[in-house]
Structure 1
Amino acid sequence: MGSILNNRSVLTLGLVIVGYGMLISILTGLGMLNADSPAGVTIFMFSSMLVMMATGFPIAFCLASVAIITAWVFQPALANMLLFQFKEFSLESGKTLIAIPLFIFMGFVLHNSGIAKDLFDAVYLWSGRLKGGLGMGTVLICAVMAAMIGVSSAATLSMGIIAVPAMLARNYDKRMATGIVQAGGALGFLIPPSIMMIMYAFVAQESVGRLFAAGLMPGLMLATMYIIYIGIRAHLDPTLAPPIPEDQRGDLKEKLAALKFLILPFLIIFSVLFCIFTGITSPTEAAALGASSALVSAVIRGKFTRQGFKDSLLRTLSLSGFNAYIIIGAVTFSAVYSGLGASAIIRDTVTGLDVNPWVVIIIMQLSFFLLGMFLDDIAILFLCMPIYVPIIKALGFDPVWFAVLYVVNMQMAYITPPYGLNLFYMKAVAPKEITLSDIYRSIVPFLGIQALALVLLLVFPIIALWLPGLIFDYYQLILNPDLLMSKLGAVLDYPDLYKVFIDNPAMLFDAGNMASILSNTEVANQLLATPDFSGFLLNNADFAQMLKSDDWLVSIPPMDSFLLGNPQFLAAHPEIGALLQ
């Protein structure tokens, strides 16, 4: 055995040396082996990464090794600077990442307390005579588990163990059954609390709450598209997904009894998201609340065991540690790439191109899809986003919307051969009669549905941006009027916000605030053209008093034209009219 291992190690080392030798020779011949050549740096780093991955090394070590080797080859002094790249991972900035193990732990505690089995039992009883009902219910279970766990693997493995055998026993087509679970399991990327969204928030410095809200509607849309597809296929060909036999359908009493075990888990999910969306707590604090509540729920339901608690801790540690290694490797890789100036040159080149910005967006989507066939989603995030997000902002696109596009791409990557992880999760738990070929074929229609969802999100960004705008740009301002002065642009999207000014006259009739409103011409014109708002101004004595005491406001457009258009007001206040002469 030792001889075999040594031979493999020697072969691996030989492959690495030969690969690097060929790569350096090619770049040297092309005159690109210098730090001033962004193309040379790019080719060297990404080709090196493929060489290292071909040896079977873990992706985290491949990324870090390539970074160090690249630094030595192109700019040796940069290797000594790598440690300083992690200065951003301070206790303060790392608070966002702390939410990740807490959400994972919450999910595994709920999972080990039997929530997946309870969900399936409830769906099984309620699906009844509906053709494809069991498959549709499985999609709903995956969506709910996504909201509890935030990682794809748990839903895929759980439903692979519970739902697939149950569907096969009810004469479901094996490809239909496995495809439903794999596609449904990937919903954990989109539906909050999504671990991937938290990591994107850390890299792009965006609000976790906004990202969670942005992923909710697309996630529900995608789940609905799956359900519609299953319903149509089952209607056209009932042999693919037949209804539950008559003798196995429960009565109303049994159906209601099956729901009682779901109350606590649903309350936990709702409480966590409510705290985040309303700003009552930070995402990390909400995650801590969810983790502790999950433990309480397990105790109340009588499902808390020492072994389950230990298993939840170990699986949380394993998954969090795996993510941490990927982050360290990817950040090191990105740090060297940026340190050599390649990322800045690429950003400047792309933003300076005379092409339609949508062409850039589409190319980025294709790069996500291609990279997703070979790299881990976390690695892609930390490699691409430091380059892509500044480009997106420079082109005038919303980075929150772009996050949703990225996550949908990662969903596709998780069920795309040859290396989609959900394919291998399913193979690990599927019955023996289901082959890898069956699993590969099963995802084709669902991959098409995901591609359609991506196109819809590209064409209609409002699908992703409607809910975060409503929560954080409307209701948050209704609840916190003082924030409106710093977010005046929200009035253009939500005209009803004029009522905030009316309800807070002290804020409106402050001269400094009024000057800020008038300086934003679009906002001022919209407000002054709103009859209720303009009527409130003209009939309020505080408005006239403000103009008299701070007469410089009278001459600021569009206030001057507004006053001239209301001669009755000027007649009632001749001293203000005199200022306009």
Structure 2
Amino acid sequence: MEWYEALGLLIGSIMFLMAIGMPVALAFLAANIIGAWVFMGGERGVVALLNNGWGSLTKFALVPIPLFLLMGEIFFHTGLGGRMFSAIDRLLGKLPGRLSYVTVLGGTGFSTLSGSSMGSTALLGALMVPEMNKRGYKKHMSIGPILGTGGLAIIIPPSALAVLLATLAQIDVGALLIAGIIPGLILAGLYISTIYLQTRLDPEAAPAYEVPPQSMVEKLGLLFRNVVPMIGLMVLIVVMMIRGIVTPSEAAAFGALGVLLLAVFYRCLTWDAVKASVRGALRVTLMAYLIVFGSATFSQLLAFSGASRGLIGWATGFDLDPILMLLVMFAVLLILGMFMEQISMMLLTVPIFFPLATSLGFDPIWFGLIMLLALEISFTTPPFGLLLFVMKGVAPADTTMRDIYTAAIPFIVCSLILVTLLILFPSLATWLPGTG
């Protein structure tokens, strides 16, 4: 069988099973069993493939995923996240568009820990949009920042999605997490500049309203009581990884313990919160582990059938500029994002794209960061980005899809500017990991 026939059989089987409603992880597992039967000699090949797949779940690099997820769940269910949102809101006072800034700052913290852009968009849409509408904010000022927070959440550590990508691609987890710090700060600056520009060009887009005056002592109390401990915990985790004091797995453990201790300190740790947190983290972790299992076996089948070798040979045979090939892969991710969730996209593309990127001479950490940004941009790309429809589901009834498209575009442009900067200046992603 030719390589393209093998590739067509494997991917075609997955797409067919997903189209008839089978869950993504199970569709990959079923397609892998079919592939093993065809390419690896029937029942014996299936047994060998499954045995090899189990080995992928015993990697120490997977440990941060459930711990980062548990950290985020505790942060949300105990109300620590709500305290931080409220404090940032009050600290910003009469700043024009302050609720938009609150959404970016607080939403990024929650999204980063939760690891789910769809979940955080639904939560922030239901929580922040009605409040901003009540205050007279125009739709692009309330919806746009929520759609934009995912771009920050996916690259600023601790990011469960970055850990999963690094594990699937078999690259250094810590290096990928650290690589996102400088680009993440640049993207945050671009988002804040966008909101500032929007309020300057149209002051009525985010009308000012009266807020209770607070003394400097009260503001400092809010800052050090409700913001610094939460943000400080995240900064501490990142610094310990950069300095090489802890591994990503140990950093995740410290993070989960730190949030737990904060919840105890603030007397908001209840049994119901613990149960909800463990349940939420367990649900996403099991899905992530199934994804890892499916990806590992899928990669083996691509190699065993000759599909990956044939695809790389075909792609590099055009003698295209590597950057042009990067743009082609970027475009594929944007298209897939209209129909698939991020983890599903990673499962399908990582076994193909990373060997191709390596053959083109790309730094794997730099390429991983580019791919993370492509995954997030694809989620908000009109007309079919999945987050656009999530937002439609939680936004007020009078919100049209055109309103959502218009709100998303400035923040998509910010992410595209960052991608351009990373292509022009790769050291933005590679310098910090190289200092460790």
* TM-score normalised by structure 1 residue count: 0.69
Instruction: Specify which of 15, 25, 32 is matched with residue 60 of structure 1.
Output: 25
**Residue 84 to residue 417, structure 1, CA distance change in 2 (3 Å):** farther
CA distance in structure 2 between the aligned counterparts of 1:251 and 1:432, rounded to whole angstroms: 39
Report what 1:21 is aligned to: none
* Aligned ranges 1:350-389 → 2 under 5 Å: 350-389=315-354
The residue number in structure 2 matching 1:185 is 150
Contact 1:334 1:382 in 2 (8 A): no
Relative to 1, partners in 2 of residues 1:172 and 1:179: Cα closer, same or farther, differing over 3 Å?
same
One-letter code aligned to 2:9 = F
Secondary structure in structure 2 of the residue aligned to 1:443: helix
Q: Which aligned pairs between 1:436-447 and structure 2 lie closer than 5 A?
A: 438-447=403-412
**Which residue matches 1:85?**
52
> Aligned pairs, how many?
433
CA contact (8 A) 1:131 1:234 kept: yes
The 1-side partners of 2:20 and 2:57 are apart by 34
- Partner of residue 305 from structure 1, selected from 251, 260, 270: 270
Aligned to 2:238: 273
Per the alignment, do residues 250 and 171 of structure 1 end up closer, same or farther by CA in structure 2, a change over 3 Å counting?
A: farther
Q: Specify the SS of the correspondent of 1:422.
A: helix
Match of 2:159 in 1: 194
- 1:167 matched to 2:132? The reply is yes
Q: Distance in 1 between matches of 2:201 and 2:33?
A: 57
1:252 is aligned to 2:219? no
Query: How far is the alpha carbon of 1:242 from its aligned partner?
Result: 2.3
Query: C-alpha separation between the residues in 2 aligned to 1:100 and 1:426?
Result: 26
Residue 391 (str. 1) matches residue 356 (str. 2): yes
Identity %: 34
Specify the code of the residue in structure 1 equivalent to 2:33: I
- What 5-or-longer segments of structure 1 have no aligned partner? 1-34, 473-581
Greater Rg over alpha carbons, structure:
1
CA distance in structure 1 between the partners assigned to 2:26 and 2:228 by the alignment = 44
1:171 and 1:372 map into 2 onto residues whose CA distance is 32
| 2:141 aligns with one of 176, 183, 194 | 176
**Pair 142,90 (structure 1): closer, same or farther in 2 beyond 3 Å:** closer
Superposition map of 1:96-245 within 5 A: 96-153=61-118, 155-243=120-208, 245=209
Name whichever of 126-135 and 162-171 sits farther off.
Answer: 126-135
Distance, in Å, in 2 between the alignment partners of 1:446 and 1:161 is: 20
CA change 1:185–1:116 in 2 (3 A) is farther
Residue by residue, what CA displacement relative to the aligned partner does 1:464-502 show, whole Å, maximum 9, x if unpaired? 223223x32xxxxxxxxxxxxxxxxxxxxxxxxxxxxxx
Question: Which deviations, in whole Å up to 9, do the C-alpha atoms of 1:174-221 show, x marking residues without a partner?
Answer: 233112112113422111011122122223332222111111111221
**Measured at CA, do residues 396 and 334 of structure 1 come closer, stay the same or move farther in structure 2, by a change above 3 Å?**
closer
- Partner amino acid, structure 2, of 1:227: I
Q: Distance in 1 between matches of 2:325 and 2:279?
A: 42
Aligned AA (1:49): I
Task: Give 1:150 deviation, angstroms.
Answer: 4.2
**Once the 2 structures are TM-superposed, how far is the Cα of residue 441 of structure 1 from its aligned partner?**
4.2
Flag the 1:183–1:240 CA change in 2: closer, same or farther, 3 A: same
Aligned AA for 1:236? Answer: L
Q: What is the CA deviation profile of residues 34-77 of structure 1, one whole-angstrom value per residue up to 9, with x for unaligned ones?
A: x2x11222223333333222212211122222233344456643
1:438 Cα shift?
3.7
Q: 1:151, 1:194 within 8 Å by CA — same for their partners in 2?
A: no
Deviation at 1:358, TM superposition (A): 1.8
Could you tell me whether the CA contact under 8 Å between 1:123 and 1:138 is conserved in 2? no
Amino acid in structure 2 at the alignment position of 1:252: M
The CA distance in 2 between the partners of 1:65 and 1:147, in whole Å, is 32
Residue 407 (structure 1) shift: 0.4
Q: Report how far residue 306 of structure 1 moved.
A: 0.8
SS of the residue corresponding to residue 81 of structure 1 reads helix
Distance 1:448 1:270, change over 3 A: closer
Following the alignment from structure 2 to structure 1, what is the Cα–Cα distance between the partners of residues 212 and 298? 56
Tell me, in whole angstroms, the C-alpha distance in 2 between the residues paired with 1:108 and 1:120.
16
State the 1:148 CA deviation: 4.1
2:285 is the alignment partner of 1:320? yes
Residues 432-474 of structure 1: per-residue CA shift (max 9 Å, x gap) = 44355543443233223222222222222122223223x32xx
Give the Cα–Cα distance (whole angstroms) in 2 for the partners of residues 310 and 159 of structure 1.
22
The offset of 1:277, in angstroms, is 1.5
CA distance in 1, matches of 2:135, 2:57: 54
Contact 2:54 2:293 in 1 (8 A): no
CA contact (8 A) 2:125 2:395 kept: yes
The Cα of 1:404 is off from its aligned counterpart by 0.7
Name the stretch that deviates more: 70-79 or 37-46. 70-79
Q: Which runs of 5+ in 2 are unaligned?
A: none
Q: In the alignment, which residue of structure 1 is the partner of 2:427?
A: 462
Q: Is contact 2:241-2:248 (8 Å) kept?
A: yes
Indicate how the Cα distance of structure 1 residues 290 and 335 shifts in structure 2: closer, same or farther if over 3 A, else same. same
Contact 1:149 1:193 (C-alpha < 8 Å) held by counterparts:
no
Q: CA RMSD in A?
A: 2.4
TM-score with structure 2 length normalisation? 0.91
The change in CA–CA distance for 1:138 and 1:383 in structure 2 (over 3 A counts) is: same
How far has the Cα of 1:364 moved from its partner? 1.6
Whether contact under 8 Å (1:191, 1:212) holds in the other structure is: yes
SS in 2 for 1:280: coil
Distance 1:420 1:192, change over 3 A: same
Query: Which of the numbers 350, 375, 381 marks the counterpart of 1:410?
Result: 375
Question: 2: distance between equivalents of 1:421 and 1:111?
Answer: 23
Contact 2:154 2:161 in 1 (8 A): yes
Cα distance, 1:274–1:133 mapped onto 2, change above 3 Å:
same
